[in-house]
Amino acid sequence: MGSQPLRLTDRRWPAGTLLSCLEPEVRADFLDLGTTIPVRPGDHILREGEPGDHMVLLREAVVKVTVSVADGRQALMAIRVSGDVVGEISALNGTLRSATVTSCSTGSVSVIYRRDWYPFLNRRPGAALALARATAARFRWANRRRLDFTSYPAKVRVARILVELAIAHGQPVETGRSVGVTLTQQELASLCAAAEPTVEKALRELREADVLRTGYRHIVVHDMPTLRRFARMPSGNHQWAPGVH
């Protein structure tokens, strides 16, 4: 007999995501909520400025979170992965969406309306505590990003983001470890709060040092220890961003 496929309730979810923080029984209950729908790259899961009466669980998905800035561009604020939730703040307090969430991969998500979310939190108080912890971790990461922006030059910030993405989403490949998330140079610049020419120069320096290889929306890290040195990150630092693990 062939091996049975791993159930969603049994799989190992990325650290820091909501599902990783739940007890198995609570996780199974949560996975039963809402309506599951497929998503494709480029699908808008949530839109900035729209009313929010539901949240979205990323069952099998990688998404980017963006906000509009004054000149009309979209600034990349975060990346979320399978096991995480998005839109929960608006779903809890009924406010307008503060960001747009766009799928970066083919997968599936669950749309969970407030009418189902509230009773779940009431009967599963442990889930409410886990949600609070996950939200607090996001705030800590945001504060760390702000510290990075004031403490490090742009090329160091680029390296730090690449280390985090490679650890979070990377997959082993023949020549190293892929970053695992498809990003344009503009999106990477947005995530690092750096100008595109600065990001282009930083990537060129890393290529010339044989630390990584870049292609169309694709980055492979050849030498993680050296990338860490570029990023001024000590070996063994695993304080990665929530949902960007």
Nearest 5 degrees, angle CA 86-CA 45-CA 115? 60
Q: What gap in Å lies between CA 212 and CA 70, rounded to an integer?
A: 33
Q: What gap in Å lies between CA 34 and CA 110, rounded to an integer?
A: 6
> What is the rounded average pLDDT for all residues in the chain?
83
If residue 136 lies in a helix (H) or strand (E), which one and from where to where? Answer: helix 125-151
Q: What gap in Å lies between CA 107 and CA 141, rounded to an integer?
A: 26
Q: In which band, very low, low, confident or very high, does the pLDDT at 68 lie, cut at 50, 70 and 90?
A: confident
| Residue 1 clears pLDDT 80, i.e. is over it | no
Question: Is there a contact between 234 and 191 (Cβ–Cβ < 8 Å)?
Answer: no
| Residue 38 clears pLDDT 80, i.e. is over it | yes
Those residues with Cβ within 8 angstroms of residue 207's Cβ, 6 or more apart along the chain or in another chain: 213, 214
pLDDT of residue 37: 97
**Percent residues over pLDDT 90 in the chain:** 38
pLDDT of residue 15: 67
In 9-86, which ranges are continuous DSSP H helix? Answer: 24-31
Q: What gap in Å lies between CA 106 and CA 141, rounded to an integer?
A: 27
Q: What gap in Å lies between CA 69 and CA 114, rounded to an integer?
A: 29
Q: What gap in Å lies between CA 95 and CA 112, rounded to an integer?
A: 16
Average pLDDT over residues 12-34: 88
Question: Is there a contact between 134 and 21 (Cβ–Cβ < 8 Å)?
Answer: yes
Tokens, residue 207: 């290529």
Q: In which band, very low, low, confident or very high, does the pLDDT at 8 lie, cut at 50, 70 and 90?
A: low
| Residue 245 clears pLDDT 70, i.e. is over it | no
Span 171-230, pLDDT tens digits: 788 889 988 777 788 888 877 878 899 999 999 999 999 999 998 878 999 999 999 999
- For CA atoms 233, 238, 243, 245, the dihedral sign is positive
How many C-beta neighbours within 10 Å does residue 19 have?
Answer: 24
| Residue 244 clears pLDDT 60, i.e. is over it | no
- Domains (range + CATH), the chain: 19-146 (2.60.120.10), 153-231 (1.10.10.10)
Span 121-178, pLDDT tens digits: 899 998 989 888 887 777 776 777 667 767 888 889 899 889 988 887 777 888 899 8
Average pLDDT over residues 81-100: 88
Question: Is there a contact between 199 and 161 (Cβ–Cβ < 8 Å)?
Answer: no
Q: What gap in Å lies between CA 19 and CA 28, rounded to an integer?
A: 9
pLDDT of residue 5: 41
